[in-house]
Amino acid sequence: MRIIYADNNATTQVAPEVYEAMIPYFTEYYFNPSSMYEPARQTGQALAEARQTIADCLGRVDPKEILFTGCATESNNTAIFGTARANPDRRHIITTQVEHPAVLEVCRELERSGYKVTYLPVDREGKLNSRDFIRALTPDTLLVSIMHANNETGVIFPIEKLSRITKQTDPEIIFHTDATQTAGKLPLDLTFGLPYVDMLSFSGHKLHAPKGIGVLYVRRGTRCRPYLLGGHQEDGRRAGTENVPYIIGIAKALELATRNREQDEAYVGRLRDRLENALCERIASVQVNGKGAPRLPNTLNISFHYIEGEGMLFQLSSYGICASSGSACTSGSLEPSHVLRAMKVPFTAVHGSVRFSLSRFNTEKDIDTIIEVFPGIVASLRKLSPYWDNERNAPRPDALDMSAHVDS
Amino acid sequence: MGWEYSDKTKQLFMDAVQGKPGTHLGEIENPDGIGEHGSIACGDAMRFTFRVKRHPSDPTQDIITEAKYLTFGCTSAIASSEALCAIIEQGNYTPLTALKIKNSDIVEYLNGLPEQKIHCSVMGAEALESAVFNWAQRRGVDLKKLGIDMHDQETEEGRIVCKCFSVTEPYLKRKIIELNLRTIPQITNAIKAGGGCSSCHHVPGGLQDILDQVWSGHAAGNTGPVQLPVLPAEPASPEFSPYQFAKKVERVIDEYIRPSLRGDGGDVEILDIKGTLIYCSLKGACSGCMGASQTLKMLVERALRDQVDERIRVIEV
């Protein structure tokens, strides 16, 4: 059975060109780039070129501003812990309620050691309110960390504006953005487009490079302590022998994505829109989460009222279709998605959310297949749902009374 | 998290959603017993109905002949519902003997459930119990006289310990003993309590205290809740009180700036003032204008600096 992979916000397949580019650095140029002998110098040269490529893709920044890390989670940890430790006289951080746990959990950890954290709310479309943001800035604020686009809904935050307001209010405040979902998908020009962003994180495996490699951009002059100690690598800002083949891989992947960005964006956006429109037309009681906000072209987060997401995913997987859900049963905890709850998605729909996230490797045929099988899956679960009237193909009139009743 | 379900679980789920013969999807009309458990807010909910062959003289000898369910929930919740109905129909149970079916019987029937899904089987057992209580009421059987605990005080009067899933203290205590739960993760897996915000784990009277109480009789410990710090007040603006300062800014904008912007079909809105920082956005015809930031700087900032305070800076929002 052909796998239809529609979970590209979770991870992506490695592009063949990326894989090809990496191979020699496993087999031939496997040397430690810090070593003195001639072959190692060549490896070091390749590392420098990869760094230059990334710097060019981020708006021709200085390659010294690029740090390689193990993953976006490490980049985020470094950005938050590192700036907190380098600026001990300030104790307040601003972030949002819908960040990835790699930011939220780090903020909660700092809260436990006495830091104050403002978690900005979002509205029903997933958008931030400028007034809330301005009100949150205080003389004690050391860091603002706000994601570029949300991994669950694809909603894009106005990072350009928020970073500008931050730096114009107080240039001492550091502005960090988690761009894991946007690197390679949206323009990231740190010289002209995003001149007020101090730090930016992303990882390789969301843009068709392998897992295990991340980037942290640190604008020159930003006060930040290293997170990993124990070596001179990356100018002493991130210890640990450079993961050369993976660095070559992420550079190649970002280069490809940047070069083909507009074309991929149009293609993927067309597929997503077709899927979205077809599902909304063919299935009753659906809602697209974040529809009213600017969204990534590859992401569709859609809720089906009165059924539960895990059962949908399970049946999708029997057709070889890979997607994810914000339902409690798939989150690992028992709570449904914190992002959808922050957006006040009604609880009749939170558990029934499915996220499709596409990439340039998806085909029209993939979308046809999903459109073909999905209405049947929804119908089969609604047939079982105590809240659904199958004769009228609508929620039972008493569904809300019943669901308000908590029995345990 | 992958699907670590047994083949039996997957099979029952697929049979149910495909409506194969022999599955138990649905709701019996005019049932002899109906029970519900869970809620859509909690992520799973079940409605369970059964029919009995009535004994002519002694209702306690009624035999359950048919059972059906409607379930909102994940793969294992639906499989557990199927399992419950199958166990009941195969066993010639009376409603009273059916009360002996525990969640562990459902787990066994499914050839095991992942730990974090145990609560799905508990839901089945709970819905069954509530359906039997309903049958007893309809048939005039006094369960209390038969020595069956109906836990009718629990949800009415118990203190809610887990607010996320509305779990009360008496219910928790009973389930901890019935299901032999020893740790907080075990409680969460079985009855969901503590699986949300986790704030009830270690507070006084929280899950750990209740576990300690149940298993060793120790009294609840008393460590005060952690006080979260409060955000500091905003910096005072110079020269005037914040109120006077804001008034003055508004007046200058009204008198000197709005008239000229309105002439061009635009307007300016003040979103916030912090010290000498004024956060503004241009509205109407001005908002899309390429020269918007220039307008704010040259016109608004200049006027405010001249008229109110020379340290004022205008920030475009």
Taking the CA of residue A130 and the nearest CA in chain B, the distance in Å comes to: 7
Q: Do A408 and B38 touch (CB under 8 A)?
A: yes
* B118 compared with A55, residue with greater pLDDT: A55
CB contact under 8 A, A384 and B70: yes
Please give the Cα distance from A112 to A114 (Å, whole number).
6
Q: Does B231 have pLDDT greater than 50?
A: no
Q: Which residues of chain A does B313 touch, with a Cβ-Cβ cutoff of 8 Å?
A: 168
DSSP state of A108: H
The beta-carbon neighbor of A335 closest among B13, B44, B195 is: B195
Q: Please tell me the predicted confidence (pLDDT) of residue B205.
A: 85
CATH number of the structural domain spanning residue A148: 3.40.640.10
The whole-chain average pLDDT of chain A stands at: 94
Among A259, A294, A319, the domain boundary falls at A259
Contacts of A264 (CB under 8 A, 6+ apart): A257, A360
Q: pLDDT by residue for chain A (408 residues), tens digit each?
A: 889 999 999 999 999 999 999 999 999 999 999 999 999 999 999 999 999 999 999 999 999 999 999 999 999 999 999 999 999 999 999 999 999 999 999 999 999 999 999 999 999 999 999 999 999 999 999 999 999 999 999 999 999 999 999 999 999 999 999 999 999 999 999 999 999 999 999 999 999 999 999 999 999 999 999 999 988 899 889 999 999 999 999 999 999 999 999 999 999 999 999 999 999 999 999 999 999 999 999 999 999 999 999 999 999 999 999 999 987 666 566 778 999 999 999 988 999 999 999 999 999 999 999 999 999 999 999 999 999 998 888 898 877 655 444 333
Mean pLDDT across chain B, nearest whole number? 84
If asked whether residues A42 and A149 sit together in one domain, one would say: yes
Nearest CA in chain B to A134: B272
Q: Mind telling me the catalytic residues of A?
A: 329
Single out the residue of B124, B9, B130 nearest to residue B71, CA to CA: B124
In a domain, A1, yes or no: no
For residue B310, the enclosing domain spans: 242-316
Higher pLDDT pick, B200 / A353: A353
Domain of B289, CATH number, reads 3.30.300.130
Residues A162 and A282 in one domain: no
Same domain? For B100 and B58 the reply is yes
Same domain (yes/no): A314, A341: yes
pLDDT value for B204: 80
Residue whose tokens read 């779990």: B167
Q: Give the pLDDT confidence score for residue A136 in this predicted structure.
A: 97
Q: Is B133 within a domain?
A: yes
- Report the number of distinct structural domains present in chain A: 2
A270: in domain: yes
Residues B232-273 pLDDT 10s: 334 444 567 888 899 999 999 998 888 888 877 888 899 999
- B233 domain residue, yes or no: no
Domain boundary among A217, A244, A259: A259
Q: Residue B271 is nearest to which of A131, A314, A384, comparing CB atoms?
A: A131
Task: Give the residue numbers of B annotated as catalytic, written as ranges.
Answer: 42, 120
Collect all residues of chain A within an 8 Å Cβ-Cβ radius of residue B191: 408
A-chain residue closest to B130, CA distance: A407
Start-end of H helices in chain B: 7-18, 75-90, 95-98, 103-109, 118-139, 154-157, 169-178, 184-191, 207-216, 242-252, 258-263, 292-295, 302-307
In the block, tokens 């986790």 appear at B198
* Triad A369, A372, A377: Cα angle to 5°: 110
- Higher-scoring residue by pLDDT: A145, B39: A145
Domain tally for chain B?
3
Say if residue A99 is in the same domain as residue A219.
yes
Within a domain: A70: yes
Amino acid at A52: Q
- Sign of the CA dihedral B5, B10, B16, B18? positive
What's the average model confidence in pLDDT over B12-40? 90
Q: For residue B228, is pLDDT > 50?
A: no
Whichever domain contains A303, its CATH number is 3.90.1150.10
Q: What is the pLDDT of residue A400?
A: 65
Residue B151 lies in a domain: no
Assess if residue A10 is contained within a domain. Answer: no
Residue among A330, A347, A381 minimizing CB distance to B1: A330
> In the numeric block, which tokens belong to residue A340?
């959808």
Which of A215, A240, A259 delimits the end of a domain? A259
Does A249 share its domain with A235? yes
Distance from B255 to chain A by nearest Cα, in Å?
24
B279 vs A contacts (CB less than 8 Å)? 130, 134, 165
Residues B135 and B163 in one domain: no
Q: Which residue has the higher pLDDT, B313 or A403?
A: B313
Which of these three, B201, B216, B231, is where a domain ends? B216
Check A383 against B166: CB less than 8 A apart.
no
> Domain check: are B175 and B271 in the same one?
no
Decide if A383 and B19 are in contact by the 8 Å CB cutoff: yes
One domain, residues A188 and A121: yes
Predicted confidence band at B197 (pLDDT cuts at 50, 70, 90)? confident
Q: Are residues B199 and B259 in the same domain?
A: no
pLDDT digits (tens, 9 = 90+) for B133-150: 999 999 988 888 888 887
Element (DSSP H or E) covering residue B64? strand B63-72
Q: Which residues are CB-contacts of B93 (< 8 A; sequence separation ≥ 6)?
A: B63, B64, B101
Per-residue pLDDT, B224: 36
Which chain A residue lies closest to B164 (C-alpha atoms)? A335
Same domain? B65 vs B109: yes
- Residues within 8 A of B (CB atoms), A 386-405 only: 386-387, 402-405
Q: Place B13 in a pLDDT band, splitting at 50, 70 and 90.
A: very high
Q: Model confidence over A30-55: pLDDT tens digits?
A: 999 999 999 999 999 999 999 999 99
Same domain, B60 and B168: no
Distance CA B46, CA A399 (A): 13
Of the candidates B1, B130, B196, the beta carbon closest to that of A334 is on: B196
B126 with B189, same domain: the answer is: no
CA distance A161 to A148: 12
Chain pair A-B, CB pairs under 8 angstroms: 163
Report the CATH number at residue B164.
Answer: 1.10.10
Task: State ipTM.
Answer: 0.76
Structural domain harbouring A31: 16-259
Chain A window 204-263: which residues touch B at a Cβ cutoff of 8 Å? none
A309 near A353, Cβ under 8 Å? Answer: yes
Tell me: do A115 and A222 sit in the same domain.
yes
Contact B13 A311 (CB under 8 A): yes
In-domain check, residue B34: yes
Within a domain: residue A390? yes
Residue A220 and residue A121 share a domain: yes
**Do the domain assignments include residue B41?**
yes
Q: What is the CATH number of the domain that holds B132?
A: 3.90.1010.10
Backbone conformation region of residue B273, classed left if phi is above 0, alpha if psi is from -120 to 50, else beta:
beta
Which residue of chain B has the CA closest to A326? B43
Contact indicator for A228, A203 with CB cutoff of 8 Å? no
Give B255-264's long-range contacts (Cβ < 8 A, gap of 24+). Answer: B256/B303, B256/B307, B257/B299, B257/B300, B257/B303, B260/B299, B261/B286, B261/B295, B261/B299
B126 & B12 share domain: yes
**Contact status of A7 with chain B (Cβ, < 8 Å):** no
Nearest to B42 by CA among B2, B77, B6: B77
A127 and A28, same structural domain?
yes
